[in-house]
């Protein structure tokens, strides 16, 4: 007792808890405090002190060495999308940091929570064109939700707390923290980590106004032909259940943007399919026929709306979004309901009348039947000698049962996969929607598997996109992560070729792309592989890929000049969608 | 209809915010006519005053994009009828001309110019006023050997504003509560922008 008292007297302040640690160590402590377990990254000169500290943390933080920083950030995005957590990526200064830019832009436009940590030259060298110095803060400002340069280690705990709070709250997005080398090395008095839950200048969620909910409910109740269109806001808000309750009570047919895909199971009777340029026939045509259009957590991208001045002009528009700047941005809302749809949807559900709207839903089914006759049946059950992408996806559905995480790249295969893949649960569709980043799928699939290790991850990629980030096969080799790679090879940059065929008189300008021998390539990386060309091999090959206990690459050679239909040509209205 | 709008932005003092705000305009190919940063009535809060010529719809969208920045507390926009504004201008004129020509002296007096520095070789005058007024003085001084001219950005006071103190207190509350109305603009779109 006497000793304790003596101790207290000699330490009147709780300074016993304050230890001198380096900035690097404080950074790793911050990551642990934020629940981070997996980091994707690539070392280099200006981030070496952090990697040195990481050496002692290998049992708490798993670091995945990627083959290129772009692969690192796409993996962090895939991780975030499959797990719902913040993805973390490390890169060094200069080229390491600039290689992150595509992924940051992708995460920005697709609202993916990512924290990127970049090394930077010593503070005294800033602005001197030092070795591997780039002005990463200014380069990344337009493509980050927030960014900050740390030059003093004492800033690290508070800035990291802010970074994670900003990345994951409100409308999520990427945050970049640039840390000068001196700050990484610097010892400072560390008094622990405190999570951030408030920044006075930052409102992650607008305040919900009941009167707008009431107005919206009145519009829905008075509607004869209400139509719900939803996006990733439902997934990001963990509001799948609230959303389903809403449409079920109101008997509201619902269609999704490609980022909203998987929020509502494919089999749900109110799931009317996909919106937009290559979306389904009914949802596009009936957008210009509904009387009330209810947009939930989506942002009216031009690929969804087609020509804006002919978009849903007859309808009253209700727009639910967490980001106030999205309301009225592209489509003028009759009623803007600001707020997190997790909170606004239940309030709206309470006020709407329970209805079935059979006749209205039948209109969607009629359009569906026509689309099926004109497009879908031939795509899924072709009588052509060459395989179609659609039949590959149909076969995959039978094998996966709709339980896989499907990661797609960009182009024809992406549209076909989004149209035909089955999903039973949310957070299962990972694709580069807003930015359309070719090369996204392979690294994102690696990240997705780390984010959801218990699930099967299938990356579906075209022969163009896969050659953009092929180097990440090395990451698979080293980490032995179990990712299924399904290459749909049409020996063309297919989507561009389709446009050249339809809109440029078939002048095929640099879309004829050669591929390496993918089987040999995979084997060089220790990945089992096969390549098929005929339909009778398809089911067995897919099944073998799917059930293989390790990574597997399957190349399926499909029809060279197949097109994706339906299609809303650019500059046309959604109701001018073409079936062929 | 395009007209002059003054956007008033209350922000934290953060390096890099200027770039973020500037790119909101440059990305959309909108020219900034005038930009001023200064302290505001609230301690520690900075105030950007930005002038652009645009339609109200575009300005409203820009204001929302600005407010979306993490370090921005609030962005208001107003047309010229809703604000009191001034710009400061400096004119450097050869002393000999002023000493010799009575007319110059009269011109300066008519335009309310005030001498700031008087030297053997030149005199620096200042005026405070609207752009048209300073422009007019430049025109009349030009024939008399105007050596240098510079005009500051616009600073503006919003007529209807009750200042930012109260708003700042709301922002500082850790958990904003129900009574706090943030998107009142929906009721009064014509009035001061607020969200």
| DSSP symbols for A353-381 | PP---HHHHHHHHHHHHHHIIIIIHHHHS
Contact (CB<8Å) A138/B16: yes
Q: What are the backbone dihedrals phi and psi of residue A112, each rounded to the nearest 5 degrees, phi first?
A: -100, 130
DSSP A16: G
pLDDT of residue B98: 81
User: What digits encode the pLDDT tens for the residues B37-90?
Assistant: 999 999 999 999 999 999 999 999 999 999 999 999 999 999 999 999 999 999
- Say if the Cβ atoms of A141 and B182 lie within 8 Å: no
Q: Which residues of B touch A329 (CB under 8 A)?
A: 61, 64
Inter-chain CB proximity A200 and B68 less than 8 Å: no
Q: Which two tokens stand for residue A94?
A: 């200069």
Question: Are B67 and A137 within 8 A, CB to CB?
Answer: no
CB A304 within 8 A of CB A257: yes
Chain B contact for A324 (CB, 8 A cutoff): yes
Closest in A166, A199, A206 to B182, CB measured: A206
Q: Does position A259 have pLDDT exceeding 50, yes or no?
A: yes
Chain A, nearest residue to B168 by Cα: A200
**pLDDT at residue A79 above 90?**
yes
Interchain pair B183, A146: CB under 8 A: no
pLDDT tens string A469-492: 999 999 999 999 999 999 999 999
Query: Which residues does chain B have within 8 Å of residue A347's beta carbon, measured at their own beta carbons?
Result: none
| A29 pLDDT tier (thresholds 50, 70, 90) | very high
- State the CATH number of the domain containing residue B107: 3.30.70.1150
Per the structure, the count of domains in chain B is 2
B66 and B97 fall within a common domain: no
A150 → chain B, closest CA residue = B15
pLDDT tens sequence across A331-361: 999 999 999 999 999 999 999 999 999 999 9
Catalytic residues of A: 69, 131-132, 181, 495
Query: What 3-state class would DSSP assign to B71?
Result: coil
Residue A2 has pLDDT above 70, yes or no: no
- B171 with B76, same domain: the answer is yes
Q: Nearest-CA residue of chain B relative to A165?
A: B70
Q: How far is A207 from chain B (nearest CA, A)?
A: 6
Alpha helices in A411-526 (DSSP H): 412-420, 441-451, 473-479, 494-503, 518-524
Q: Would B33 be classed as within a structural domain?
A: yes
- Which segments of A173-318 does DSSP mark as H helices, in order? 181-185, 210-222, 233-236, 240-250, 281-287, 302-305
Q: Is the pLDDT of residue B188 over 60?
A: no
Instruction: Give the position of tokens 């980050």.
Output: A144
For chain B, say whether A169 makes contact (Cβ under 8 Å). Answer: no
Band (B186; pLDDT cuts 50, 70, 90): very low
For A372-392, write each residue's pLDDT tens digit: 999 999 999 999 999 999 999
Q: How confident is the model at residue A15 (pLDDT cuts 50, 70, 90)?
A: low
Indicate yes or no: CB of B12 within 8 angstroms of CB of A142.
no
CB A242 within 8 A of CB A320: no
What is the spatial distance between Cα B65 and Cα B72, in angstroms, rounded to a whole number? 10
Measured between CA atoms, how close is B159 to chain A, in angstroms?
24
The verdict on B45 and B75 lying in the same domain is yes
Same domain, yes or no: B129 and B167: no
Domain membership flag for residue B181: yes
Query: Residue A530: pLDDT above 80?
Result: yes
Interface touch A201/B171, C-beta < 8 Å: yes
Cα–Cα distance list, A90 to A39, A41, A145, A176 (Å): 7, 4, 17, 10
Q: Is residue B43 part of a domain?
A: yes
- Judgement on whether residues B46 and B66 belong to the same structural domain of the protein: yes
Label residue A3 by pLDDT band (50, 70, 90).
very low
Q: What are phi and psi of A83, to 5 degrees?
A: -100, -20
Same domain, B54 and B95: no
Choose among A199, A177, A197, A196: nearest CA to A27.
Answer: A177
Q: Do B23 and A329 touch (CB under 8 A)?
A: no
**Residues B77 and B167 grouped into a single domain:** yes
B65 and B29 in one domain? yes
| Length of chain B, in residues | 195
Q: Does A211 contact B at CB distance below 8 Å?
A: no
The pLDDT, as a whole number, for residue A70 is 98
Question: Are the C-beta atoms of A417 and A569 separated by less than 8 Å?
Answer: no
Q: Is residue B162 part of a domain?
A: yes
pLDDT tier, A11 (very low <50, low <70, confident <90, very high otherwise) = very low
CA distance to A243, A261, A422, per residue, from A345 (Å): 6, 18, 25
> Mean pLDDT throughout A13-32?
84
Whether residues A325 and B16 touch (CB distance < 8 A) is answered with no
Mean pLDDT of chain A: 95
Q: State whether B16 and B35 are in the same domain.
A: yes
Contact residues on chain A for B11, CB-CB shorter than 8 A: 201
Give the domain extent around B9: 3-83+157-186
State how far the Cα of B69 lies from the Cα of B86, in Å rounded to an integer: 28
Do B134 and B161 share a domain, yes or no? no
Position B173 confidence tier, pLDDT thresholds 50, 70, 90: confident
Residues B102 and B8 in one domain: no
Number of Cβ within a 10 Å radius of residue A179: 29
Picking from A277, A243, A248, the residue whose alpha carbon sits closest to that of residue A260 is A243
Which residues, at least 6 apart from A273, have a Cβ–Cβ distance to it below 8 Å? A255, A256, A279, A280, A282, A283, A368, A419
Instruction: Report residue B46 as tokens.
Output: 């900075």
Which CA distances in Å does A121 have to A77, A149, A154, A185, A427? 26, 11, 17, 12, 38
Residue numbers in B near A207 (CB within 8 A): 176, 178, 180-183
Question: B195 in a domain, yes or no?
Answer: no
> Is the distance from CB of A293 to CB of A316 less than 8 angstroms?
yes
| A138 in reach of chain B (CB within 8 A) | yes
Domains of chain A: 16-190 (3.40.50.970), 210-359 (3.40.50.1220), 387-561 (3.40.50.970)
Indicate whether B10 and B96 sit together in one domain.
no
Residue of A nearest to B11 (CA): A201
Instruction: Tell me which of A136, A140, A200 to substitute to probe the interface with B (most B C-beta atoms closer than 10 Å).
Output: A200
pLDDT of residue A137: 97
Q: Does B146 fall in a domain?
A: yes
The single residue listed with the structure tokens 């507390």 is B73
- Cβ(B104)–Cβ(B93) below 8 Å: yes
Q: Which residue of B has its CA nearest to A170?
A: B68
Q: Are A115 and A86 in contact (CB under 8 A)?
A: yes
pLDDT one-digit tens code per residue, B88-137: 999 999 998 887 877 777 888 888 999 999 999 999 999 999 999 999 99
- Considering chain A, what percentage of its residues have pLDDT values greater than 90? 96
* Chain B residue closest in CA terms to A328: B61
**B66 domain residue, yes or no:** yes
Whether A580 shows a pLDDT value over 90: the answer reads no
Contacts of B158 by beta carbon, 8 Å cutoff, 6+ apart: B8, B76, B78, B82, B83, B192
Edge-to-edge strands, sheet with A146-150: A62-65, A38-41, A87-91, A114-120, A174-180, A146-150
C-beta atoms of B23 and A325 within 8 A: no
Contact B61 A329 (CB under 8 A): yes
Tell me, what's the pLDDT at B184?
Answer: 42
Give the lowest-confidence range in A10-19, A424-433, A540-549, B37-46.
A10-19
Q: How far is A212 from chain B (nearest CA, A)?
A: 10
Structure tokens at B184: 């009142």
Q: What tens digit of pLDDT does each residue of A114-164 get? A: 999 999 999 999 999 999 999 999 999 999 999 999 999 999 999 999 999
Q: Which residues contact A317 (CB under 8 A, 6 or more apart)?
A: A292, A293, A295, A331, A332, A333, A334, A335
Q: Which residue numbers of B have CB closer than 8 Å to A's CBs? A: 11-12, 15-16, 19-20, 23, 27, 60-61, 64-65, 67-68, 70-73, 168, 171-172, 174-176, 178, 180-183, 186, 195
Helices (H), A150-236: 156-168, 181-185, 210-222, 233-236
A329 contact B CB<8A: yes
Tokens 């820009």: give the residue: B62
Give the ipTM of the model, two decimals please: 0.89
In a domain, B191, yes or no: no
CATH assignment of the domain containing B40: 3.30.70.260
């Amino acid at each position: 007792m006497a000793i304790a008292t003596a101790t207290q007297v000699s330490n009147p302040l709780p300074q016993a808890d304050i230890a001198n640690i380096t900035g690097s160590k404080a950074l790793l402590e911050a990551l642990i405090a934020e629940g981070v377990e997996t980091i994707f990254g690539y070392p280099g000169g200006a981030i070496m002190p952090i990697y040195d500290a990481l050496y002692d943390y290998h049992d708490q933080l798993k670091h995945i060495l990627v083959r290129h920083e772009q692969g690192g950030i796409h993996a962090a995005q895939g991780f975030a999308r499959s797990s719902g957590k913040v993805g973390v990526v490390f890169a060094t200064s200069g080229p390491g940091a600039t290689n992150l830019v595509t992924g940051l832009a992708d995460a920005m436009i697709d609202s993916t929570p990512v924290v990127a940590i970049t090394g930077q030259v010593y503070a005294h060298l800033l602005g001197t064109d030092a070795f591997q110095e780039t002005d990463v803060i200014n380069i990344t400002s337009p493509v980050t939700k927030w960014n900050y340069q740390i030059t003093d280690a004492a800033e690290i705990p508070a800035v990291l707390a802010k970074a994670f709070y900003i990345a994951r709250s409100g409308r999520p997005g990427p945050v970049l923290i640039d840390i000068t080398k001196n700050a990484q090395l610097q010892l400072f008095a560390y008094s622990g980590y405190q999570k951030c839950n408030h920044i006075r200048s930052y409102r992650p969620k607008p305040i919900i106004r009941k009167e707008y909910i009431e107005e919206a409910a009145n519009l829905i109740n008075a509607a004869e032909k209400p139509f719900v269109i939803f996006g990733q806001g439902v997934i990001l808000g963990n509001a799948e259940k609230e959303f389903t309750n809403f449409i079920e009570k109101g008997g509201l047919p619902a269609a999704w943007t490609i980022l909203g895909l998987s929020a509502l199971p494919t089999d749900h009777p109110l799931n009317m399919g996909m919106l937009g340029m290559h979306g389904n026939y009914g949802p596009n045509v009936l957008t210009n026929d509904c009387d009330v259009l209810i947009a939930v957590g989506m942002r009216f991208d031009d690929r969804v709306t087609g020509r804006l001045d002919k978009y849903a002009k007859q309808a009253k528009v209700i727009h639910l979004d967490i980001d106030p700047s999205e309301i009225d941005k592209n489509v003028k809302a009759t009623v803007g309901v600001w707020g997190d749809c997790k909170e606004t949807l239940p309030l709206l559900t309470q006020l709407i009348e329970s209805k079935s709207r059979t006749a209205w839903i039948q209109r969607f089914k009629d359009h569906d039947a026509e689309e099926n006759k004109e497009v879908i049946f031939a795509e899924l059950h072709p009588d052509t000698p060459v395989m179609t992408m659609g039949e590959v996806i149909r076969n995959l559905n039978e094998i996966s049962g709709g339980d896989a995480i499907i990661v797609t790249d960009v182009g024809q295969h992406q549209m076909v996969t989004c149209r035909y893949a089955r999903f039973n649960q949310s957070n299962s569709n990972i694709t580069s929607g807003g930015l359309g980043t070719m090369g996204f799928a392979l690294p994102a699939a690696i990240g997705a598997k780390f984010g959801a290790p218990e699930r099967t991850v299938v990356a579906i990629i075209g022969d163009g996109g896969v050659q953009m980030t092929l180097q990440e096969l090395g990451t698979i080799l080293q980490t032995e992560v179990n990712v299924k790679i399904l290459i749909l090879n049409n020996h063309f940059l297919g989507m561009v070729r389709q446009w050249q065929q339809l809109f440029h008189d078939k002048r095929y300008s640099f879309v004829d792309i050669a591929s390496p021998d993918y089987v040999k390539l995979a084997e060089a990386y220790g990945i089992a592989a096969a390549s098929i060309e005929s339909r009778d091999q398809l089911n067995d090959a897919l099944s073998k890929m799917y059930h293989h206990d390790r990574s597997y690459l399957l190349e399926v050679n499909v029809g060279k000049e197949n097109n994706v239909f339906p299609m809303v040509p650019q500059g046309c209205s959604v109701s001018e969608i073409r079936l062929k | 209809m395009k007209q002059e709008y003054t956007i008033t932005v209350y922000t934290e003092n953060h390096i890099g915010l200027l770039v973020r705000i500037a790119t909101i305009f440059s990305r959309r190919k909108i020219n900034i006519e005038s930009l001023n940063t200064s302290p505001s009535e609230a301690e520690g809060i900075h105030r950007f005053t930005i002038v652009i010529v645009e339609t109200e719809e575009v300005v409203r969208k820009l204001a929302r994009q600005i407010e979306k920045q993490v370090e921005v507390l609030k962005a208001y926009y107003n047309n010229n009828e809703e604000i009191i504004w001034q710009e400061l201008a400096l004119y450097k004129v050869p002393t000999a001309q002023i000493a010799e020509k009575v007319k110059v002296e009269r011109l300066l007096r008519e335009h309310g110019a005030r001498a700031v520095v008087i030297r053997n070789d030149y005199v620096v005058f200042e005026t405070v006023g609207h752009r048209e007024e300073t422009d007019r003085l430049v025109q009349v001084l030009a024939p008399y050997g105007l050596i240098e001219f510079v005009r500051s950005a616009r600073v503006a006071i919003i007529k209807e504003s009750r200042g930012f103190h109260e708003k700042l207190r709301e922002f500082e509350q850790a958990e904003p509560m129900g009574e706090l109305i943030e998107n009142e603009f929906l009721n009064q779109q014509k009035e001061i922008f607020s969200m």
